[in-house]
Structure 1
Amino acid sequence: MAVPLVVAVFIALGIGLLIGIEREWSDPGTPFAGSRTLPLIAGFGALVQAFFPDLLPIAVVLVGGLVVVAYVSKVATTGDIGMTTAVATMLTFVYGAMATHSDTGLRLAVVLGTVTMALLAEKRAIHEFADRLDEAEMRASLKFLIVALVVFPLLPSERIAALGGLDLRFVWLMVVFVSGISLAGYVLAKLVGSEVGFEVTGALGGLVSSTATAVSMAENARRDDSLTGLCGIATVIASLAMFVRILLEVLVVNPALFVPVVVPITGMTVVGVVVAAIEYRSIRGDAPLAADIENLFRLWPALLFGVFFALVLVASAALSAEFGAVGVYSVAIVSGLVDINAITISLSNLSRSGDISTATATGGIVLAASVNTAVKIAVVWLFGTRALGRTVVVVLGVVAAVGIGFVVL
C-alpha cells in the first residue's frame, strides 16, 4: 500500500467512530454498538487483515457471533426487532478490513463508510421518500434495475461488424447511465416535494429533462400570466442545468475531453447567468411552481434512445471519416434538435478512441448544446405565451450565440 499502515488503521478507526457516533445519536436508547464499540470493531478488522489475513474468516464468524448475541439480548429486553445497528456493525468490521487491504480498498472503505453514515442519519427522510412512492414509481425502479443488472451482461462483448463495428454493451451502458442521471434528478425532486421555489424547480428539472421543464413552465405561464417572469427564470435555469449533465457525461466517458469542453460550456453558463440577472432584475418574490415532470423509467423510451444513440454514434464516425469536422457538425446540429445526450456521449467516445480530434469533439458538443438551447426558445413560443417567449428569447438566444461563437472562432 502507498498509504502507511498506521494511517490506514487510524482511518479505519475514524470510519468506525463516525458510524458509532451516528448510532448513538439516532438510537440513544439501546445502542449495543456505539461510539466506543464500533471503532474497536473497525480497528479489529483492520489489524486482522493487515497481520493475520488467513484468520479473517474466523474473525468474521467471531464478530458475527457477538452481533447475534447482542441483537438477541436487545430483542429480549426491549422488544425492538430493528436490525440496523447489527448490520452497521458488520459493515464497520468489513470497512476496517478493507482499509488495510489495499489502496483501492481504503478509498472504497472511506466512500462506503460515508455513504453508510449518511443512510443511517437520513432515516426519516428516506422513510418519508419511500412512503411517497406509488406503485408506478416502484415498477419503474424495478424496470431500471432489470435493465441495468440483467440486460447488460446478456449483450455480446465483441463489436458487431454488420452494424458498423458497434459495441452493443457500450451503447446499453450509456442508456443506463443517461437514464440513471434522469432518475437521480427525479429522486431529488421527490425528496424536496412536488411544489418548490422556481430556482429548485428549474435546477432539478434541468437534470431530469430541460425540454420537459420548458414545456411545463410554458403551461404554467399560460394558466397564470402573473407567473410569466418566474417561469422564464425557471426555464433559463433548467437550460443552464442541462450543461451540468453534459459535463458529467463527458467526464465519465472521456475525462481527457473535460477541460476542453468545460471552458466554452462555463463561458455559456456565466454569460447566461449575467444576462438573466439583467433581464429579470425587476422581478421580485417567489412562488411554488410544479414542474409536472414524470421520469418513470419506461423500457420503450430507453430502447428508442439506445437506437438513436447508436445511429448518432455510427453516423458521427462515418461522416467524420468522409467529411471531417463538417460531417461531425452536421450530425451535432441534427442531434441537438432531438437529444443532447446522444451526441455528447458519441463524440466523447469517438474522441477517446482517436477517431476524431479533441477540437472537433469539443466543437460538436458545444454546437449541439447551442442548438438544443435554441430549441427551448421554440418550445416556449409554441406552448407558452408571447410574454414568456420574449423573457426567454433574450437570455437563451445570447447563450446559444455564445456557444456558436466558440465553435466558429
Structure 2
Amino acid sequence: MTQTLGLAGAAAALGIGMLIGLERERHKGQGELRAFAGLRTYSITALLGYVSQQVGGGLLLGLIAGCLAVIVSTAYWKSRDNDPGITSEVALLTVLLLGAWCGVAPEQATAVGVVVAGLLAYRDKLHNFARSQLTDVEMRDGLLLLVVALVVLPLAPDRYIGPYGALNPRTICTLTVLLMAVGAVGHVAVRALGPRYGYVVSAIASGFASSTVTVAAMGQMVAKEPEHLRILAAAAIFSNIATVAQVALILGTVEPALLSQMAWPLLAGFATTALYGACLMWHAPTAAASQTIKVGGAFDLKLALIMVVTLTGITFLSSLMLHHFGQVGVILTATLSGFADAHASIASIAALATSGQLSLEAASIPVLLAVSCNALSKCVVAGVSGGRHFAVYVIVGQVLLVGAMWLVTWAG
C-alpha cells in the first residue's frame, strides 16, 4: 500500500525516528533534568529530513541541518553541567540525515537506523566492555589486525614475483590476516565460553588456518595452565576436524571426482577424531574447567608469521621442483610438505589430478601420505610445545585419525 501511494520513504523515515526516539525516551529522565528530545522530537526530525530532501533537495536539507545544529547546540549549552555527553545531540542530527536518505535508499537507511538504535540501547554494556573487559594488549592486537587488514593488504600487489614466479604478496598478506583473524576469533570464544568449550571452538576455527600451529599453541598453553591439560589436548585433537573438513573443501573445489573417491576415508577420520576428542573432554576435571582463564593477547603474531613463511617456502619449493623435475618432483614435494601443512600439499595434488597429470587412483595415496606426514609433524610439535603427557594424548588421536583413513581406503 505504501509503495502504491509513494510513501515507502516517509514510512521508513517515521519508523527510524520512532525507533531511535523510543530508545531515547526511555533514558531522557523526568522533570527539569530530563533530556531535550524524546520520541516525538526524533520522529518529527526524521520526517523533516525526508520532506526537506523531497521538497528542496540538498540545499534545503543543509539549511534545515544548520538550524537544527543551532538548536541542538543551545540545548547542550543549557544542560552541559548535568550531562557533558553529546550522544543525544549527535543522534538527533543522524536521524535528520537518515530521514533524508529514506527518499533515495530506504532499506539502507533503515538498516543504519537499527544499528544506531542498538548502539544507543547497549550503552552501558559497551562502556563496561571498553573500560573493564578489554585489556590494553587486546586493544593493541585489535588495532594491529585492522592495520594489516585495511591498510597493508589493499596496498599489497596482486601479482607473482621472485624466482620461478612463486611469490604473490597479496596472497602472503591475505594468509597473514587470516591467521591473525582466526586467532582473534578463538580468543573471543575462550573469553565468552570459558576454557572447557572456548578452547575447543578456538582450536576448530584455528585449524582452518593451520592445525599444526593450533597444536603448538595449545601445547604452549599447557605450560601456563597445566590444570587444563585434557581440555587443551582435546582442543588440539578437535583441530583435526578442521583439517579433514578443509581437505574435503579443497578436493571438492579443485577436483570433485577426487572428493567422491576420498569421501569414506575422510568421513572415517572425521568420526574417529570427534569421538576421541569428546572422550577427552568428558573425562576432563570439571573443577579445572570452571576456573577463570588467563587473559592475554588476541593472537600470537609470531606463530602467524612463522606459518606464513613456512607456507610461502612450500610454494616456492613446489615451483622449483616443478621447474627442474616435473610431475615427480611436485608429488614428492607435496607429500613431504605435509610435515608443515596438509592444505597446500593436497591442493597441489588435486590440481595435478584436475590437469590430468595424475590419475584419480594414483592421487589417493599422495593425499593420505600428506595427511599422515602432517599428523606426524603434529606429534613432534605436541612433544616439543606441551611436554610428554600432552604429546601422548595428541599422538593417540593422530594414530586413530590416520589409521582410520588408511584402513577404510584399503578396505575399499
Residue pairs, 1:207-356, within 5 angstroms: 207=205, 210-219=214-223, 223-224=226-227, 227-237=228-238, 240=241, 271-278=272-279, 280-283=281-284, 285=286, 286-288=289-291, 290=293, 294-295=297-298, 298=301, 307-313=309-315, 327=330, 330-331=333-334, 334=337, 337-338=339-340, 343=344, 347=347
Contact persistence 1:43–1:96 (CA under 8 A): yes
Alignment: residue pair count: 381
**Cα distance between partner residues in 1 of 2:293 and 2:96:** 45
Secondary structure of the equivalent of 1:277?
helix
Cα 1:230–1:114, aligned 2, differ >3 Å: closer, same or farther? same
The residue type equivalent to 1:331 in the other structure is A
Residue pairs, 1:109-124, within 5 angstroms: 112-124=112-124
Stretch moving more, 317-326 or 376-385: 317-326
Contact persistence 1:45–1:96 (CA under 8 A): yes
Residue pairs, 1:30-179, within 5 angstroms: 30=34, 32=36, 34-35=38-39, 37-38=41-42, 41=45, 55-56=57-58, 58-59=60-61, 62-63=64-65, 65-67=67-69, 69-70=71-72, 72-77=74-79, 79=81, 80-95=83-98, 101=104, 106=107, 112-131=112-131, 132-133=133-134, 135-156=136-157, 159-160=160-161, 164=165, 166-179=167-180
**Cα distance between partner residues in 2 of 1:371 and 1:99:** 58
Contact persistence 2:13–2:102 (CA under 8 A): yes
Cα 1:229–1:148, aligned 2, differ >3 Å: closer, same or farther? closer
* 1:65-84 C-alpha deviation (Å, 9 max, x unpaired): 42552354145235312233
Contact persistence 1:217–1:291 (CA under 8 A): no
**Cα distance between partner residues in 1 of 2:100 and 2:406:** 53
**Cα distance between partner residues in 2 of 1:61 and 1:365:** 68
**Cα distance between partner residues in 2 of 1:388 and 1:304:** 22
Instruction: Give the TM-score normalised by the residue count of structure 2.
Output: 0.63
User: What is the deviation of 1:302?
Assistant: 6.2
The residue type equivalent to 1:199 in the other structure is Y
User: What is the deviation of 1:200?
Assistant: 1.7
* 1:13-41 C-alpha deviation (Å, 9 max, x unpaired): 55555444444456656555555554555
Q: CA RMSD in A?
A: 5.5
Secondary structure of the equivalent of 2:85?
coil
Contact persistence 1:160–1:166 (CA under 8 A): yes
Stretch moving more, 86-95 or 263-272: 263-272
**Cα distance between partner residues in 1 of 2:148 and 2:239:** 28
Partner of 2:210: none
**Cα distance between partner residues in 2 of 1:229 and 1:243:** 22
Q: Which runs of 5+ in 2 are unaligned?
A: 207-212
**Cα distance between partner residues in 2 of 1:279 and 1:181:** 24
**Cα distance between partner residues in 1 of 2:318 and 2:304:** 21
User: What is the deviation of 1:188?
Assistant: 5.3
**Cα distance between partner residues in 2 of 1:8 and 1:181:** 40
Residue pairs, 1:382-393, within 5 angstroms: 382-384=384-386, 386-393=388-395
Stretch moving more, 228-237 or 79-88: 228-237
Stretch moving more, 91-100 or 142-151: 91-100
User: What is the deviation of 1:176?
Assistant: 2.9
Partner of 2:200: 202
The residue type equivalent to 1:123 in the other structure is R
**Cα distance between partner residues in 2 of 1:305 and 1:232:** 21
Contact persistence 1:16–1:41 (CA under 8 A): yes
Secondary structure of the equivalent of 1:82?
coil
Secondary structure of the equivalent of 1:288?
coil
The percentage of aligned residue pairs carrying the same residue is 21
